[in-house]
Amino acid sequence: MDAKDILGLPKTPLSITQEKKSRPQKDSQRKPDGISREVYALTGGVAPLMPSIDVSQLKRRPPSDEKITWQWLPFTSSARKDNLQLYHWVRVVNGVPPTGDYSFAKYNKSVDVIRYTDEEYEKHLTDPKWTKEETDQLFDLCERFDLRFIIIADRFPTPRTVEELKDRYYSVSRTILVARAPSPGEVAGHPLVKEPYNVTQEIERKRALSMVLSQTKHQERKDAEVLAEAKRIAESRMAARAAEEPDLPIASDIGPESAERAVGPGDTISPSNVQVPAPAAAPSTSVIADNSSTLASLRMLRVYLRTYALEQMVQAASSSAGLRTIKRVEQTLQDLEVNLKPKVPTKAVCAEHLELRKEILTLLNLQKQLQYKEAEGSSFRDGSYGDMPGSAKRSQRAADQDRTFVLDTISFGGDRGVKREQKRKGPGRASETSSSPAGAHKRPRKMKASDL
Amino acid sequence: MGKPEDGEKKKKIKDVEISVPIVYGNAAFWLGKKASDYQSHKWTVYVRGATNEDLSVVVKQVVFQLHSSFNNPTRVVDSAPFELSESGWGEFEIAITLFFHNDVCEKPLNLYHHLKLYPEDESGPMSTKKPVVMESYEEIVFTEPSESFLARVQNHPAVTLPRLPAGFILPPPVPVEDESKRKRGDTKDHPLSQWFLNFSEADELLQLAAARQQVQAHIAKLKRQISMTGRNNQQFKPL
């Protein structure tokens, strides 16, 4: 309650009673009729937008004028060919048993296996690899097992592969169909005729499938890599072809930078049809991020000027640096009395120049690092806000700021921050015992009049 | 790989690059007393081999595109020495397009040169004897040269061949062309040759090496400083 006072919240017992009142109301609203509350809660507990269950139907009772009994009665099924007498429970309404066939008989489907006569066999179906006996057996099994060839292959007396059996069955059926048909046009639509079974293709397909299935993770990864590589190559080729179109002599755009050389499957990238004339003095309009891709794209050019190449490499090397850094690099070069663009750009000179630039970049980075570290160190030494996470950065702006803070705290005698114990260790604290008005604040901030 | 070629001659060789060092620029003579308002200087713009060798083994034709105020501003030079002389009064940018032989490269290359007529030191006297010369060094790099090109330039002084990949055997070099023809193409005895600038990579290399040493020393010093500061900071870091 004190906390509430401090935070300035109104003490409102009213709101609590209000809550209690509203709850029972909502509860009775929510509970639907027809199903118990728990069951309703299972489905989410909230009324659906479109009630899927017609609630009134749920506890429907059968109309009271009918008399229902259940009886153990015999029945027949059209699906059974034998005369087996079976019994089951039947719902009898007013003493009248239900009529009609067994309700599951309609699911008894089977395949129409074409049966040939011996004559037809002699005429069309003789085959060196199959005897009549075998073919007959095959067709028997097909009918028995509804064309489940795997089972048929298993049951077949002589060892035959599934593909062979399928082949024989389908070709026989096809031939018979065509032979029996009055004209070829009539059966042309029949699926057996339209799409003949292709044995070799099937064998090949199954083999490939099993190969894919049995691939190890390692192989999968390799395949994915190769595909990605191929995609990249195709894309670079396409972009290169597109880049060939605007064939202007001045300031041409060097196409894609995706010409990275891959270690794996073939470097087919470099020899391409792209030959873009390289402007000597005009700066290139493209920025190539990676050094290796710079090299690759230069290679694609077939002919280029050394100064142009150097420019590209310099750009690539300093792509991560801001404009200010680049200017500083150039300033440094001038201080060292090195030409910004070498006067004699031979291969060796250009290489040295590039290395020098990179080293200068490193130098500048290190300088920055040193600055950070020194600033950090000075803030630690002052001991003021050294435990603050952002202190290093902040004190970078001006080490003076820190000193001002220290002065402030000494003069006003206020200690900021939560960790007072640590601050006692610091040097030169004037009055640390005075209480801090803003004890809850973790970050030091400028003094406010209210803090005093 | 590469374009559909006719025959083996155009087979490209990977991992070999041929570089041709050239110098391009102009020399301009003040006409002194004979100068008029519109013809104050006589200048020659040219492209030559860096060591004054004949470039026609590589270059088939050079096209100089002059300022539109000139008659027929597109000047074509079909043979070495690849130069063009004119007289005028103004400085402007000349676009130089190099066309190479078929087996060298099928696309042309562009260079741009600002014609320089007046000396740096504007107040100094202008002499009719000594020309104002402005030259730029450049290297043309051919990646994946064709076999026939390689064979032709194998021992030619105008061209720099790097170390060939191991096991690579070049076809036997084509016999040198007609002596007299070759003599004419190089610029060793060119009338302007006394004014040609000398481009030595040695000086630049020295300069760069010195600069790099300085920078590297500085880097080492900074690294020491950083690690020292890091150690110092450790003492003061709060627990």
* Residue with the larger pLDDT of the pair B186 and A274: B186
Identify which of B143, B207, B229 has the shortest CB distance to residue A374.
Answer: B229
| Cβ contacts of A284 within 8 Å, gap of 6 or more | A251, A254, A308, A311, A312, A315
pLDDT bin (cut points 50, 70, 90) of residue A279 is very low
Average pLDDT over residues A144-150: 91
Domain tally, chain B? 1
Predicted pLDDT at A302: 81
* Overall pTM surpassing 0.80 (yes/no): no
Predicted complex ipTM: 0.82
CB of B230 within 8 Å of any CB in chain A? Answer: yes
Q: How far is B202 from chain A (nearest CA, A)?
A: 9
Estimate to the nearest angstrom the gap between the alpha carbon of B75 and the chain centroid. Answer: 20
Average pLDDT over residues A374-378: 83
CA–CA gap between residue B95 and residue A419 (Å, rounded): 73
3-state secondary structure of B155: coil
Predicted pLDDT at A392: 47
Averaged pLDDT of chain B: 81
CA–CA gap between residue B179 and residue B190 (Å, rounded): 17
CATH of the domain at B127: 2.60.40.1970
What's the sign of the alpha-carbon dihedral A428, A430, A433, A438? negative
Please check the confidence at residue B76 and state whether its pLDDT lies above 90: yes
Q: How far is CA A186 from CA A95, A112, A292, B61, in A?
A: 54, 18, 67, 75
Predicted pLDDT at A384: 53
For residue B38, being part of any structural domain is answered with yes
Identify which of A305, A346, A422 has the shortest CB distance to residue B201.
Answer: A346
pLDDT bin (cut points 50, 70, 90) of residue A272 is very low
For residue B130, being part of any structural domain is answered with yes
CB of B78 within 8 Å of any CB in chain A? Answer: no
Q: How far is B32 from chain A (nearest CA, A)?
A: 31
CA–CA gap between residue A342 and residue A346 (Å, rounded): 9
Residue pair A375/A412 in contact (Cβ under 8 Å)? The answer is: no
Residue that has been written with the tokens 């002599």 in this structure: A249
CA–CA gap between residue B191 and residue B31 (Å, rounded): 17
CB of B201 within 8 Å of any CB in chain A? Answer: yes
Write out the residue range of the structural domain in which residue B144 sits. Answer: 19-164+186-200
pLDDT bin (cut points 50, 70, 90) of residue A137 is very high
For residue B2, being part of any structural domain is answered with no
Please check the confidence at residue A126 and state whether its pLDDT lies above 80: yes
Predicted pLDDT at A115: 86
CA-nearest residue to B218 within chain A is: A363
pLDDT bin (cut points 50, 70, 90) of residue A187 is confident
H-state helical runs in A98-252: 118-120, 132-145, 149-155, 162-180, 184-187, 191-194, 199-213, 217-244
pLDDT bin (cut points 50, 70, 90) of residue A30 is low
Residue pair B204/B137 in contact (Cβ under 8 Å)? The answer is: no
What is the percent of chain A with per-residue pLDDT over 70, rounded to a whole number?
65
Both tokens of residue A24?
A: 């029972």
Name the CA dihedral angle for A249, A253, A255, A261, rounded to a multiple of 10 degrees: 90
Both tokens of residue B65?
A: 């595109």
CB of A343 within 8 Å of any CB in chain B? Answer: yes
pLDDT bin (cut points 50, 70, 90) of residue B131 is confident
For A310, counting Cβ atoms within 10 Å of its Cβ (0-12 exposed, 13-18 middle, 19+ buried), the class is buried
Residue pair B129/A297 in contact (Cβ under 8 Å)? The answer is: no
* Residue with the larger pLDDT of the pair A302 and A231: A231
Highest mean pLDDT range out of A44-58, A206-220, A381-395? A206-220
- Complete edge-to-edge strand list for the sheet that includes strand B132-143: A303-305, B132-143, B17-30, B41-49, B82-88
Predicted pLDDT at A45: 67
Identify which of A338, A343, A346 has the shortest CB distance to residue B139.
Answer: A346
Least confident of A113-122, A199-208, A406-415, B193-202: A406-415
3-state secondary structure of A70: strand
Q: How many residues does chain B have?
A: 239
For residue B143, being part of any structural domain is answered with yes
CA-nearest residue to B113 within chain A is: A281
Predicted pLDDT at A151: 93
Q: How many residues does chain A have?
A: 452
Please check the confidence at residue A401 and state whether its pLDDT lies above 80: no
Identify which of A303, A360, A377 has the shortest CB distance to residue B141.
Answer: A303
Q: How far is A217 from chain B (nearest CA, A)?
A: 33
CA–CA gap between residue A116 and residue A136 (Å, rounded): 9
Residue pair B143/A299 in contact (Cβ under 8 Å)? The answer is: yes
What is the percent of chain B with per-residue pLDDT over 90, rounded to a whole number?
26
Predicted pLDDT at B110: 92
Please check the confidence at residue A273 and state whether its pLDDT lies above 80: no
Contact B144 A301 (CB under 8 A): no
For residue B233, being part of any structural domain is answered with no
For residue B33, being part of any structural domain is answered with yes
For residue B218, being part of any structural domain is answered with no
Least confident of A57-61, A362-366, B89-93: A57-61
The secondary structure of A246-299 as a DSSP string is S--SSSPPP--S--PPPSSS---SSS-S--PPPPSSSPPS-----HHHHHHHHH
Please check the confidence at residue A90 and state whether its pLDDT lies above 90: no
Strand residues in A281-349 grouped as ranges (E): 303-305
Predicted pLDDT at B19: 87
pLDDT bin (cut points 50, 70, 90) of residue A383 is low
CA–CA gap between residue A254 and residue A294 (Å, rounded): 10
CA–CA gap between residue A263 and residue A84 (Å, rounded): 74
Contact B109 A305 (CB under 8 A): yes
Predicted pLDDT at B191: 83
For residue B230, being part of any structural domain is answered with no
User: pLDDT digits over A302-319, tens only?
Assistant: 888 888 888 888 888 888
Residue that has been written with the tokens 């741009």 in this structure: B112
Both tokens of residue A387?
A: 């435990």
3-state secondary structure of B115: coil
pLDDT bin (cut points 50, 70, 90) of residue A149 is very high
The rounded radius of gyration (Å) of the Cα atoms in chain A is 45
